[in-house]
């Protein structure tokens, strides 16, 4: 641990990243360029999120990492260990106990408080990229608020699929100004983007940071006659019975048996601890966890 500065990055780099974060918070939804550093993990493994976390963690923080809602995937575990080792921070799997949560592709079910920060790993920060490959042109479109193209994408969706088929990375307009990619969270999570906590987005390979300050207006783009709908599987969690959570569908046996369960593992476990039992679940026992 003595080989590293606190949280791996040197202080000068952290200051540079913090300036980008502050600028991002001052201009909600605006993509701030920053000089992304080499991290001891490949791009695509959350280097953007890791750099943001490294820049904001303090020794008093309690850190949680989720990958698609789960704390126990290889990716989540390795990032959590990384900061345990380089920053010596406390870690947790409990959403309510964490002060900083780094996430890939989900927002926790539990509402965040105003003393919590959510850090997103972002693969492609530019929502206009799909239709306009030129970076010069997309930057101009943002600066001039020329967002017609975003609706062309939704138009194409409806004309091809009969409905807005975009299910992840569903574009939003932040505080009536910048159109933003919320990272590949399911659109079910979009309404939660209006929250009490601070949200920071880091794209390592693309060298961009952006942010949503607490209680900022975040509107999912849509058409008057095809309004935005935050859909999920029409089912309850088979483990904890929750009807309001985002579900993963699992094939559980060779006979094609299926099971729906909360993608947010902490949410599911907490509910089971509190005595909730789903259709295929068994009552929670400490040792079985």
Partner 1 sequence: MTPLLQVENIAKFYGARIGCTDVSFDLYPGEVMGIVGESGSGKSTLLNCLAGHLTPDQGAVRFDTRAEGLRDTITMSEPERRMLSRTDWAFVHQHARDGLRMNVSAGGNVGERLMAVNARHYGDIRAEAIDWLGRVEITEDRIDDRPTAFSGGMQQRLQIARNLVTGPRLVFMDEPTGGLDVSVQARLLDLLRGLVREMNLSAIIVTHDLAVVRLLADRLMVMKDGHVIESGLTDQVLDDPQHAYTQLLVSSVLQV
Positions in the binding site for partner 1 (CB under 8 A): 131, 144, 146, 148-149, 151-152, 155-156, 158-160, 223-226
Q: Which of partner 1, Zn ion, none does residue 248 bind to, with CB < 5 to 8 Å depending on kind?
A: none
Task: State how far the Cα of 54 lies from the Cα of 78, in Å rounded to an integer.
Answer: 14
102's enclosing H/E stretch is strand 100-104
Q: Which of partner 1, Zn ion, none does residue 240 bind to, with CB < 5 to 8 Å depending on kind?
A: Zn ion
Q: At its nearest, how many Å lie between partner 1 and the CB of residue 16?
A: 30
Q: Which of Zn ion, partner 1, none does residue 131 bind to, with CB < 5 to 8 Å depending on kind?
A: partner 1
Q: What's the residue count for the chain? A: 289
Nearer Cβ to partner 1 (43/226): 226
Q: At its nearest, how many Å lie between partner 1 and the CB of residue 140?
A: 8
Nearer Cβ to partner 1 (45/155): 155
Q: At its nearest, how many Å lie between partner 1 and the CB of residue 137?
A: 11
Task: State how far the Cα of 289 lies from the Cα of 287, in Å rounded to an integer.
Answer: 5
| 8 A C-beta contact, residue 17 and residue 24 | no
Task: State how far the Cα of 45 lies from the Cα of 104, in Å rounded to an integer.
Answer: 9
Please report where in the chains the tokens 């309510």 appear, as a residue: 96
Quote the crossing angle between the two packed helices 11-26 and 47-56, to the nearest 10°. Answer: 100
Nearer Cβ to Zn ion (66/212): 66
Please report where in the chains the tokens 């992840």 appear, as a residue: 168
Nearer Cβ to partner 1 (58/143): 143
- Count CB neighbours of 157 within 10 A: 15
Nearer Cβ to partner 1 (81/140): 140
Question: Pick from 119, 126, 262, 284: which binds Zn ion (CB under 5 A)?
Answer: 262
Task: State how far the Cα of 158 lies from the Cα of 152, in Å rounded to an integer.
Answer: 10
Q: At its nearest, how many Å lie between Zn ion and the CB of residue 99?
A: 24
Tell me which residues in 112-151 interact with Zn ion (CB under 5 A): none
Task: State how far the Cα of 219 lies from the Cα of 190, in Å rounded to an integer.
Answer: 8
Tell me which residues in 229-248 interact with Zn ion (CB under 5 A): 237, 239-240, 242
Contacts of 288 (CB under 8 A, 6+ apart): 282
Q: At its nearest, how many Å lie between Zn ion and the CB of residue 259?
A: 11
Site of interaction with Zn ion (CB under 5 A)? 237, 239-240, 242, 262, 268
């Amino acid at each position: 641990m003595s080989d590293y500065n606190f949280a791996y990055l040197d202080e000068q780099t952290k200051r540079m990243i913090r300036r980008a974060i502050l600028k991002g918070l001052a201009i909600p939804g605006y993509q701030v360029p920053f000089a992304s550093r080499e991290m001891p993990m490949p791009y695509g493994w959350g280097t953007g999120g890791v750099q943001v976390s490294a820049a904001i963690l303090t020794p008093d923080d309690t850190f949680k990492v989720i990958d698609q809602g789960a704390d126990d995937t290889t990716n989540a575990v390795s990032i959590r260990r990384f900061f345990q080792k380089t920053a010596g921070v406390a870690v947790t799997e409990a959403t309510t106990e964490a002060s900083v949560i780094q996430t890939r592709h989900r927002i926790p079910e539990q509402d965040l408080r105003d003393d919590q920060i959510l850090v997103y790993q972002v693969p492609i920060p530019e929502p206009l990229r799909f239709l306009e490959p030129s970076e010069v042109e997309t930057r101009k479109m943002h600066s001039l608020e020329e967002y017609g193209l975003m609706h062309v994408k939704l138009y194409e969706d409806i004309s091809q699929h009969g409905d807005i088929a975009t299910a992840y990375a569903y574009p939003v307009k932040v505080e009536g100004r910048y159109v933003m990619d919320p990272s590949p969270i399911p659109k079910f999570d979009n309404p939660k983007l209006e929250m009490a906590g601070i949200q920071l987005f880091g794209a390592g390979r693309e060298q961009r940071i952006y942010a949503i300050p607490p209680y900022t207006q975040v509107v999912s783009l849509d058409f008057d006659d095809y309004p935005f709908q935050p859909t999920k599987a029409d089912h309850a969690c088979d483990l904890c019975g929750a009807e309001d959570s985002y579900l993963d569908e699992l094939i559980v046996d060779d006979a094609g048996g299926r099971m729906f369960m909360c993608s947010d593992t902490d949410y599911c476990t907490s509910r089971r601890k509190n005595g909730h039992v789903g259709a295929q679940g068994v009552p929670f026992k400490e040792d079985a966890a």
